[in-house]
Amino acid sequence: MTELDHTVLALIARDGPLSAYDVRKDFAASLTPSWSSSTGSIYPSIRRLVEGGFARASAPQGARGKQKLTITRAGRASLTEWLRTATALTAAPTPDPIRTRVHFLRLLSKSARVKFLSDARESTEAALAEAEARTAQRKAAGAAKEGYLPGVGVEYELRARRDWLKLLARELT
């Protein structure tokens, strides 16, 4: 199973029973842009979970035929193993489009490099402000620590990127 499959399964286990639409809403609210809430990613994942026996879908209900998803015993076992496992892959650096571009900045003029780094820092500051606000909202709403501490992790990541961008501006311009 993929990281996405396990994440969908974890949502179902934590908040279920959920409809596929409920799962999509949770992904859409994520601070992580790589989590797509598109039907092209969520629905195939749910289909794999049901077909693999990790989740169960209820009989269609209502005019729209909405099905509620629950986790199965096999799903719970797979989820527990996934949650317990921290490998070199899960701890590896995450993809970073800014870091990728830095490899090629010398292809730009000095003024274009300065502008890119300034724009990247400004965008990072905006993302940090959004993450801080959303984390504060969740905490103020009484969310469990597991409900807001991932946002704190996002804040640390964005602060580190901001500091790194300051270093790049000094070193590359």
The predicted-structure confidence for 90-118, as pLDDT tens digits, reads as follows 888 888 899 999 999 999 999 999 999 99
Dist. CA 83–CA 79, nearest whole Å = 6
**Helical axes 39-51 vs 3-15, angle rounded to 10°:** 80
Q: Which structure tokens are listed for 51?
A: 């077909």
Q: Which residue has the higher pLDDT, 51 or 144?
A: 51
Confirm if 59 and 67 have CB atoms less than 8 A apart. Answer: yes
Dist. CA 172–CA 105, nearest whole Å = 9
Write out pLDDT tens, residues 56-74.
999 888 888 889 999 999 9
Confirm if 72 and 55 have CB atoms less than 8 A apart. Answer: yes
* Model confidence, pTM: 0.75
Whether domain 3-91 has CATH 1.10.10.10: the reply is: yes
pLDDT of residue 127: 93
Dist. CA 99–CA 70, nearest whole Å = 39
| Angle at 60 (CA atoms; ends 58, 63), nearest 5 degrees | 150
Report the range of poorest mean pLDDT among 14-18, 78-82, 106-110, 169-173. Answer: 169-173
pLDDT of residue 144: 85
pLDDT of residue 37: 60
Dist. CA 141–CA 131, nearest whole Å = 15
DSSP assignment letter at 107: G
pLDDT of 146 above 90: no
**Domain ranges for the chain:** 3-91, 97-172
